[in-house]
Structure formats: C-alpha cells, structure tokens
Amino acid sequence: MADEYALGRGYAEATRLNCQHYLWKQSLNYLISPDASLTEPNMKVADIGTGTGIWLLDLAKSLPPSTQLEGFDVSSSGYPPEEWLPSNVKLGVWNVFDEPPESLHGRYDVVHIRLFLVVIDDNDPSPILRHCLKILKPGGLLQWEEYDLHARTVVTSRPSAPRENTQRLADFVKRDIHKWVYTLPEIFRSHELTHVSVLRRNEDLSSSRIFMDLELVLAEEFATNSLDAKGPPESGDEVRKLAKAVYAEVQQGATIRHTLQVVTGRKPCADFDK
C-alpha cells in the first residue's frame, strides 16, 4: 500500500508530536498501563507508527536496561540518529498494513500504538489490529491510544465568549469516519483479546489552551498536506481561514475539550484466564 499520510513529516510536525506526547503523559499520568508490569529482565516492547520515537525513548528511562524497545514507522524521517539511541532502543521501518516479518511473530510482551486516526480512513482498524496481535506473545498486552472525536465538546471560559468557529472546527472532522475509536473495546473482544479495559479522560482545563494550539497547528498541517496537495479545485484555504477565526475565539476563552482514550487487552494463551 502506498504511503498516503494526510499530515506532514517535517520539523514543525515532529514538534507537534513531541509536545503532544508530554500532554498525553501528563493527562493520563502514565505512559504504559500499570497492567503491563514490565518488571522481568529482557522483556520486549514494540511501538507501532512511532513517529519521532518519543514514547519509546521516554519509556526507556523508567525500565530496566535489559528491556528491549523497538519502534516501527513507515517513514524514518522523524528518527534521531541511530548512533545516539540508548543501546536498548531500536527504530526500524515497517508499513503496518504489510504482513509482519516472521522474525517478529510472537516477539513482544507489550505492543503500543497511538494516534492512528488519520491512517485508518475506512473505519476499520482490524488489519492493523491483526498484525499487532501477530507480533505479541501469547498473554502479551496491547495498548491502543486515540482521541475520541465523537466525545469532544466546545467549552468557553465565560458564557458570553464567542464559540461559533470553534464549534465549526470541532464538527469539521467527520465523526462517522472515526466511529471505530469508540467501538475499539468491542473490536478488541471480537479479536478474542481478553481482560479488555478502557480509560477515558478529558484534559485538564488548565492544559486545554496547549491542546488547542496543537489542534490549530494540526488543522494547518492537514490543509497543506492533504488539501493543497490534491491541487485545484481542492485547497486548504478554507481550513486555514477557519483556523485563524478559531484562534481569535481561543484568545477570548473558547476551546475544544478533548477525550483521550486508552484501550488495553491481552492476547489469549492456553494457560491464561479468559
């Protein structure tokens, strides 16, 4: 499958991803579910669609040095130089829509995947989920994190603050397309994952301005990489104009309140309780 990524892969986009990582960590209060219990020596963790590798690099600081952390992305353009990675972190290239190589089958104790909303455009995460399950050990933990766009709401700091454009931006993302996010726990169960659990959290209002600035950076990224790139009659101008109007409302106290969702489940194994 061709790489038709709807967002960018330059330094501005990398900065957005890295900033977003710390916001997620602060909002969830963890990087990895406490259920993962990565305390044994020589455990293995994979991060799919790792982007800049920030999740793995941050996680590596809190794990025993024998833990092996391996990140994969269809593009290596956001990776730091290999020579500067901790010795237990490796970053490689893999298009997750392709069958995983046999060397990865059943390899990992934990597989993590985060923010694939723009990658899954047919409302069906099953092909990716199947590949993640293939590389998990029996009994291993899958952790999938996404924004639930269906649940997000517009709020204002004062009742009189303008919010019309912010609401338009919130509605711009066609929610039906992303329906799979809030049905992900059922999708996990239909793939026979056990111990499925869901954590849903809104960001603190004190952090919401930072989330909102990132949302506007994302809107402009989408306008350039997805709409302008298609060429006339498509153009990102309307989205850029909307982003400007939203920014004026944001400065007067409007914001989109996001819902962060983490779904975890275990790959079944013969001697694991269902």
Residue closest to ligand SAM, measured at CB? 51
* Number of residues lying near ligand SAM (CB under 6 A): 17
Q: Closest distance between ligand SAM and the C-beta of residue 37, in Å? A: 22
Position 203 contacts ligand SAM (CB under 6 A): no
Token pair listed for 63: 């794990």
Q: Which of residues 93 and 248 has its CB atom nearest to ligand SAM in the complex?
A: 93
Q: Which of residues 74 and 239 has its CB atom nearest to ligand SAM in the complex?
A: 74
Position 263 contacts ligand SAM (CB under 6 A): no
Q: Which of residues 51 and 236 has its CB atom nearest to ligand SAM in the complex?
A: 51
Q: Supply angle C-alpha 160, 165, 169, rounded to 5.
A: 130
Position 8 contacts ligand SAM (CB under 6 A): no
Q: Which stretch binds ligand SAM (CB under 6 A): 68-76, 130-138, 159-167, 247-255?
A: 68-76
Q: Closest distance between ligand SAM and the C-beta of residue 76, in Å? A: 9
* CA–CA distance, 91 with 69 (Å, rounded to integer): 8
Q: Which of residues 18 and 252 has its CB atom nearest to ligand SAM in the complex?
A: 18
Q: Closest distance between ligand SAM and the C-beta of residue 113, in Å? A: 7
Position 75 contacts ligand SAM (CB under 6 A): yes
Largest Cα–Cα separation, the chain: 59
Position 265 contacts ligand SAM (CB under 6 A): no
Residues 31-50 that bind ligand SAM (CB under 6 A): 49-50
Position 152 contacts ligand SAM (CB under 6 A): no
Position 21 contacts ligand SAM (CB under 6 A): yes
Q: Which of residues 128 and 242 has its CB atom nearest to ligand SAM in the complex?
A: 128
Position 22 contacts ligand SAM (CB under 6 A): no
Can you spell out the DSSP letters for the chain? -----SS--SHHHHHHHHHHHHHHHHHHS-SS-GGG---STT-EEEEET-TTSHHHHHHHTTS-TT-EEEEEES--TTPPPGGGS-TTEEEEE--TTSPPPGGGTT-EEEEEEE--TTT--SS--HHHHHHHHHHEEEEEEEEEEEE-GGG-EEEESSTTS--HHHHHHHHHS-GGGGHHHHTHHHHHHHTT-EEEEEEEEEPPGGGHHHHHHHHHHHHHHHIIIIIGGG-TT--SHHHHHHHHHHHHHHTTTEEEEPEEEEEEEE---TTS--
* CA–CA distance, 158 with 92 (Å, rounded to integer): 48
Position 96 contacts ligand SAM (CB under 6 A): yes
Tell me phi and psi for residue 65, to 5 degrees: -65, -15
Using CB under 6 A as the criterion, what x/- string covers residues 97-126 for binding ligand SAM?
A: x----------------xx---x-------
Binding interface with ligand SAM (CB under 6 A): 5, 17, 21, 49-51, 54-55, 73-75, 95-97, 114-115, 119
